[in-house]
């Protein structure tokens, strides 16, 4: 981990401002002092939110770990030169107007890349949203806030998708260790971030959004060397969307079938949507895989149980039949009944994972059920997945309880399928 970027002691925001609706203000609002010194650089303002500003980074006494740059294109060269003079430990270039806009931009990008590389200063971006590490209270981005901390590292070639994920984060119980916007990857590339996340003690699972990679073999080798589970959402599968990708980030989209095969070869899991990416990621961030072939289902609703059984069967997941499986404990099932059925199911050797379905019927006690499932999860070292269907007040309480105790919940058997397969190492 490059601590000057990923856990800096001093950060300078170049292009800091209090101007409404600006990128510079977004970064200022996101970056809290929390044990680190923050400096604002703006030659046109004496103060920002009552805090002193500097004309340029070289005016600051003492060292600077990280410079975050959000200045207009014409000021970039000068600012980069000053960062090199100041010997900063790392640079994040948020500003756009580089390779993504064409030849001229590409030249400009190459120029700053060369300068920083010969000064041995690592570069994130340009044309990126920035970096967020909830685990160490760092947010050097203009994203709409900081999500809660957790075990997921999210590495994305789209800044907009990061915004969308963060904006919806309040509804989720999972959290993040690292969120990084790759941007044009002139300096550090997607492979560097994967290696960093793999070595990060707060990260349990790595989620990627990818449009294209520059060096297929390097990417594959990185995946093969990664110890933690990697889940990939790949865009640019069809010819039309490929065109949009090329003009969007200036990266190359490879032929999809081959890319998909390379993901399998690298041991990565491929997700088909953003929802699926995080459905799988939350399961793997909370629970360890348990290699196996069989799942046990306990349900208080016959229909939901059959739906899940069908899905598992279609995907060659066995439902061991030592006891009924799915085990339907009927609509009037009490928490005691749930507990007995779950214990009977999970203790079987052939059952590698327990899936508990609950439909909210009149006599159902969701929170009490959740508490008993949590106990069972603690007692057995096997994955447990919940499918508490519905979103009434009582059910929500139960779902939050489950997820606070690392049991992922899915609103629909279909959404639980891939996470279940991932947890028993069948994806």
Partner 1 sequence: MILDYKEQDKILKKYGLKVPDTCFVENKTQASSSASKIGFPVVMKISSKKHFHRTEVGGVLKNIKSKEEAQTAFTSLSKIEDTQGVLVQKQVEGVEFIVGVKKDPLFGGVIMLGTGGTMVEVFNDVTFRVLPIKKGDALKMIEEIKGKKLLEGFRGLEKIDKSKLADILVKVSSLADKEDYQEIDLNPVILNDKKAFVCDVKIVV
Task: Using CB under 8 A, list all residues that contact partner 1.
Answer: 212-213, 215-217, 220, 252, 254-255, 257-259, 261-262, 264-265
Is 3 or 225 the residue whose CB approaches partner 1 more closely? 225
Residue placing its CB nearer to partner 1 in the complex, 12 or 213: 213
CA-to-CA separations, 286 to 151, 156, 342, in angstroms, rounded: 8, 21, 20
Distance CA 420, CA 409 (A): 11
Provide, rounded to whole angstroms, the least separation between the CB of residue 320 and partner 1: 22
Residue 257: CB minimum distance to partner 1, A:
6
How far, in Å, are 114, 291, 298 from residue 346 at the CA level?
58, 15, 10
> Minimal distance in Å, beta carbon 312 to partner 1?
19
* Alpha carbon distance 401, 371 (integer Å): 8
Task: Provide, rounded to whole angstroms, the least separation between the CB of residue 243 and partner 1.
Answer: 16
The smaller minimum CB distance to partner 1, of residues 254 and 320, is found at 254
Q: How far is the CB of 426 from partner 1 (least distance, A)?
A: 12
| Nearest CB to partner 1, comparing residues 47 and 264 | 264
* Residues near 251 by beta carbon (within 8 Å), at least 6 away in sequence: 157, 184, 185, 211, 212, 213, 214, 245
DSSP 76-90: HHHHHHHHHHHT-SE
Q: Which is nearer to partner 1, 55 or 272 (CB)?
A: 272
Q: DSSP for 192-239?
A: HHHHHHHH-TT-SEEEEEES--S-HHHHHHHHHH--S-EEEEE---SH
The answer for residues whose C-beta is within 8 angstroms of residue 323's C-beta and 6 or more apart is 344, 345, 348
Q: Using the minimum distance from each CB to partner 1, give the nearer residue, 28 or 213.
A: 213
Tell me which residue of 151, 172, 204 sits closest to 410, measured CA to CA.
172
How far apart CA 337 and CA 363 sit, in angstroms, is 12
Least distance from partner 1 to the Cβ atom of residue 210, Å: 12
In terms of CB distance, is 178 or 213 closer to partner 1?
A: 213
Token code pair at residue 416:
């639980």
- Least distance between partner 1 and beta carbon 217 (Å): 6
């Amino acid at each position: 981990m490059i601590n000057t970027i990923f856990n800096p002691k001093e950060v300078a925001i170049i292009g800091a401002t209090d101007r409404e609706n600006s990128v510079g203000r977004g970064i200022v609002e996101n970056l809290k002092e929390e044990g680190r010194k923050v400096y604002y650089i703006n030659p046109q303002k004496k103060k920002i939110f009552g805090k002193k500003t500097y004309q340029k980074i070289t005016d600051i006494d003492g060292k600077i770990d990280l410079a975050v740059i959000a200045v207009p294109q014409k000021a970039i060269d000068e600012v980069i030169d000053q960062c090199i003079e100041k010997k900063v430990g790392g640079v994040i270039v948020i500003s756009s107007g580089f390779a993504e806009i064409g030849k001229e931009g590409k030249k400009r990008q190459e120029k700053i890349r060369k300068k920083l590389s010969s000064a041995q200063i690592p570069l994130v971006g340009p044309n990126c949203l920035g970096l967020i590490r909830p685990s160490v209270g760092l947010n050097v981005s203009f994203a709409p806030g900081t999500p809660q901390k957790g075990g997921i590292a999210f590495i994305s070639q789209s800044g907009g998708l990061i915004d969308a994920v963060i904006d919806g984060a309040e509804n989720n119980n999972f959290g993040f260790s690292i969120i990084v916007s790759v941007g044009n990857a002139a300096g550090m590339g997607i492979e560097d971030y994967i290696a960093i996340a793999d070595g990060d003690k707060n990260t349990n699972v790595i989620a990627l959004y990818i449009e294209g990679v520059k060096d297929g073999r390097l990417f594959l080798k990185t995946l093969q060397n990664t110890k933690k589970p990697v889940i990939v959402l790949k865009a640019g599968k069809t010819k039309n969307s490929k065109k949009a990708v090329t003009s969007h980030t200036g990266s190359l989209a490879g032929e999809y079938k081959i890319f998909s095969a390379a993901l399998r070869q690298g041991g990565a899991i491929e997700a088909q949507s953003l929802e699926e990416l995080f459905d799988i990621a939350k399961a793997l961030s909370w629970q360890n895989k348990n290699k196996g072939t069989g799942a046990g289902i306990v349900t208080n609703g016959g229909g939901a149980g059959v739906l899940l059984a069908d899905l598992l069967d279609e995907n060659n997941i066995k439902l061991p039949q030592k006891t009924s499986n799915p085990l339907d404990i009927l609509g009037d099932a009490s928490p005691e009944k749930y507990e007995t059925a779950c214990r009977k199911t999970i203790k079987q050797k052939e059952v590698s994972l327990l899936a508990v379905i609950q439909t909210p019927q009149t006599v159902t006690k969701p929170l009490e059920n959740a508490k008993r499932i949590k106990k069972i999860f603690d007692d057995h070292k096997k994955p447990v997945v919940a499918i508490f269907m519905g979103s009434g007040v009582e059910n929500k309480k139960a779902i939050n309880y489950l997820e606070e105790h690392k049991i992922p919940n899915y609103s629909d058997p279909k959404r639980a399928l891939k996470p279940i397969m991932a947890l028993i190492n069948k994806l």
